[in-house]
Structure 1
């Protein structure tokens, strides 16, 4: 059986910086293409670099396995395998969720998710028998970090 993945993006400032740089690479490729009237090797290489970074940016997801929540991030050192009993609370906002767990570096981490992914993730995690945390619906939770 294929494991279900739930895609997410990091907090707003990090997402804006990442995607701005990624689309900057695309525009550089388009500028290089306009400089020549025929296919140009360097512009194609830069376009390939854009597709690589766009793929990496979309490769952030959650996966629920037995008693673990796997947080797959862009950098391998930021990937986490969190036990479901260690999750203390999940705050659900209109466009994001915030997971509070002692296994995170700052004890809490925010994730931007689409409404469809967010509801599917919450339904799936609530069905797991190892999950004991409280889920709080907080309509005032915004997508930017506020500490």
Structure 2
């Protein structure tokens, strides 16, 4: 959760296997550049280009977030040209688990899974539930299996 230009972004990641593959590919050019530095003992244009590639891939990898606006939910993915906007009133249900949330709306009738860390997920669900246009339901699906972080947060908020 980051506040940029007065708007709060709630960052998410894709499925765990895709995340591991992407981040492994993102740091591979850094290891190649370091091995080239070790071999040549000087910094060449290739090494600089590999480090720039790592920085660009990190930027693309962190470009996955939600923004709650007045009447719609903006979902940004790694593709900066494929930002989706979903009307908040069309969201019918949100399933919250320990690792992810699953959004059900008219655009995603079978549901779409987004992996979010614990605290950004809590603040995202709170902000979405307090939006006056949200008429859906929020379901905690595995809160009896692991620690319920909603109860943990409200118990310590005195």
- Measured against the shorter chain, the TM-score band is 0.7 to 0.9
Question: What is the CA-CA distance between 1:77 and the residue it aligns to?
Answer: 5.0
CA distance in 1, matches of 2:61, 2:74: 17
How many angstroms does 1:129 deviate by?
0.3
Alignment of 1:109-128 (within 5 A): 109-128=112-131
Name 2:151's counterpart in structure 1.
none
Q: Structure 1 residue 59 and structure 2 residue 59: aligned?
A: no
- Structure 2: gaps of 5 or more residues: 144-158
Q: 1:93 aligns with which of 97, 101, 106?
A: 97
Q: Which residue of 2 aligns with 1:34?
A: 38
Which structure is larger by alpha-carbon Rg, 1 or 2? 2
Q: Which residue of 2 aligns with 1:83?
A: 87
- Unaligned stretches of 5+ residues in structure 1: 141-147
Q: Bigger relative contact order, structure 1 or 2, given CA contacts below 8 A and separation 6+? A: 1
Structure 1 residue 109 displacement after superposition: 1.0
Q: CA deviation at 1:24?
A: 1.6
User: TM-score scaled to structure 2, two decimals?
Assistant: 0.81
Q: Alignment partner for residue 72 of structure 1, among 71, 76, 87?
A: 76
Q: In the alignment, is the contact (CA less than 8 A) between 2:94 and 2:139 conserved in 1?
A: yes
Number of equivalent positions: 139
Root mean square deviation of aligned Cα: 1.6
